[in-house]
């Protein structure tokens, strides 16, 4: 089977991990600090705080922005469930904003309309989480302008998007947000096995992240009152064990050196798909001028009126041909947990649901061979013609 995404592990990655295994630190130690500094340097952000997943990063991001009971968090339905679940971890309430039918990112028009209504209802969100679907940035400047008008905070879920940019600045720079979150799961752009990072330019938020990822405990002598007791630590918050290991960080730091190469390879693959699939009854991924995507995913939409097969049939035929396509994502509001507990229904976000009914993610990863891609293209043509 050709997978839809996969990691690239080279000898230098293996060597970096072995070096840590032979060192004194296995869990959070010098490699974590090195990796954090390298990502912050890459993105031109002041702080990066590494944790054991993007899900954990989203959770402590919400906590650092004081999300709590009776607060609202809004995100898009076309995302992984973690972008919404983080609000529920904080006992806050979740709502969704429909997608833009062209970019599949959160719709600015829908966001603006919903904010207007929420102001009337006195239910404005405390946090909005735009998700950079497939690696293409949301229109962050517009979202930032709305945040100034309506007073909400912004966490960018950039789980797909490290290595991408917006207005010629790297995603993660937090130019138009309070916090940006990356994922280093193996299908993402670079990997640490499991892992994530929360980026910010605010020293208070960064300090909060460091407390929250390790039980809320500090050993910082300037923050505690026991000068003459060298063993002393204090718990100041209810935190978690969300630490990244030095083993994972060494892998991440090694992978980061190839990030730009990976993004360039992904663009070359996208370019070949664009050329080869142009005349088929498909909608190919739209790319906005202000954004340079990391191309985590290559999503096609089937023009179902022109195709005799259903999405399921196209999907199954590709799978039968040994091509492990995927679908990103089942709209979060249609998940049983969200329907049963919060009353969301099918029909609530029509553009998201229409997109979902037509979308297929084709294999996209740097080591996909030309011959494999040619085979994928040939099979799509065979199935759709
Ligand atoms: C992968 C992903 C996450 C979760 O990342 P983990 O590192 O697996 O916790 C969150 N949001 C989006 C959009 C993702 O794709």
Whole-model pTM: value is 0.98
Distance 240 CA to ligand 1 centre (A): 19
Element (H, E) at 169: strand 169-170
Residue 62 beta carbon below 6 angstroms from any ligand 1 atom: no
Ligand 1 centroid to 334 CA: how many Å?
18
List the pLDDT tens digit at each of the 385 positions of the chain.
999 999 999 999 999 999 999 999 999 999 999 999 999 999 999 999 999 999 999 999 999 999 999 999 999 999 999 999 999 999 999 999 999 999 999 999 999 999 999 999 999 999 999 999 999 999 999 999 999 999 999 999 999 999 999 999 999 999 999 999 999 999 999 999 999 999 999 999 999 999 999 999 998 888 887 777 888 899 999 999 999 999 999 999 999 999 999 999 999 999 999 999 999 999 999 999 999 999 999 999 999 999 999 999 999 999 999 999 999 999 999 999 999 999 999 999 999 999 999 999 999 999 999 999 999 999 999 999 8
Q: Could you tell me which residues come within 8 angstroms of residue 76 by beta carbon, excluding any fewer than 6 positions away?
A: 83, 96, 97, 98, 99, 105, 106, 129, 130, 131, 133, 352
Torsions phi, psi of 156, nearest 5? -80, 120
Say if ligand 1 is within 6 A of residue 20 CB: no
| DSSP 3-state percent helix, strand, coil across the chain (nearest 5) | 40, 15, 45
Atom of ligand 1 nearest to the CA of 58: 10
For a mutational test of ligand 1's pocket, the pick from 159, 194, 196, 252, i.e. the residue with the most ligand atoms closer than 8 A to its C-beta, is: 159
């Amino acid at each position: 089977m050709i997978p839809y995404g996969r990691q690239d592990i080279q000898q230098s990655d293996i060597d970096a991990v072995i070096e840590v295994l032979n060192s004194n630190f296995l869990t959070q130690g010098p490699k974590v600090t090195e990796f954090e500094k390298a990502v912050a340097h890459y993105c031109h952000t002041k702080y990066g705080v590494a944790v054991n997943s993007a899900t954990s990063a989203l959770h402590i991001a919400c906590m650092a922005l004081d999300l709590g009971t009776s607060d609202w968090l809004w995100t898009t339905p076309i995302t992984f469930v973690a972008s919404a679940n983080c609000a529920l971890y904080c006992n806050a309430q979740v709502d969704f904003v429909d997608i833009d039918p062209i970019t599949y990112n959160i719709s600015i028009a829908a966001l603006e309309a919903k904010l207007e209504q929420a102001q009337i209802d006195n239910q404005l969100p405390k946090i909005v989480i735009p998700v950079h679907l497939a690696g293409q940035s949301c229109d962050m400047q517009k979202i930032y302008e709305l945040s100034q008008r309506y007073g909400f905070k912004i966490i960018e879920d950039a789980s797909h998007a490290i290595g991408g940019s917006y207005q010629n600045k790297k995603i993660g720079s937090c130019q138009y947000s309070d916090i940006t979150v990356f994922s280093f799961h193996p299908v993402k752009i670079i990997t640490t096995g499991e892992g994530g990072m929360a980026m910010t330019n605010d020293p208070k938020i960064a300090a909060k992240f460091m407390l929250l990822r390790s039980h809320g405990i500090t050993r910082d002598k300037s923050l505690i009152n026991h000068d003459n007791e060298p063993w002393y630590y204090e718990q100041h918050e209810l935190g978690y064990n969300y630490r990244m290991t030095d083993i994972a960080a060494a892998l991440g730091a090694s992978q980061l050196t190839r990030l730009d190469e990976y993004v360039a390879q992904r663009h070359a693959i996208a370019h070949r798909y664009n050329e080869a699939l142009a005349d088929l009854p498909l909608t190919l991924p739209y790319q906005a001028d202000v954004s340079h995507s990391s191309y985590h995913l290559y999503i096609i939409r089937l023009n179902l009126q022109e195709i005799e097969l259903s999405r399921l049939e196209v999907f199954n035929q590709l799978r039968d041909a040994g091509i492990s396509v995927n679908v990103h994502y089942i709209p979060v509001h249609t998940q049983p947990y969200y329907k049963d507990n919060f009353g969301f229904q099918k029909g609530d976000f029509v553009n998201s649901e229409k997109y979902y009914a037509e979308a297929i993610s084709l294999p996209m990863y740097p080591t996909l061979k030309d011959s494999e891609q040619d085979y994928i293209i040939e099979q799509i043509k065979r199935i759709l013609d």
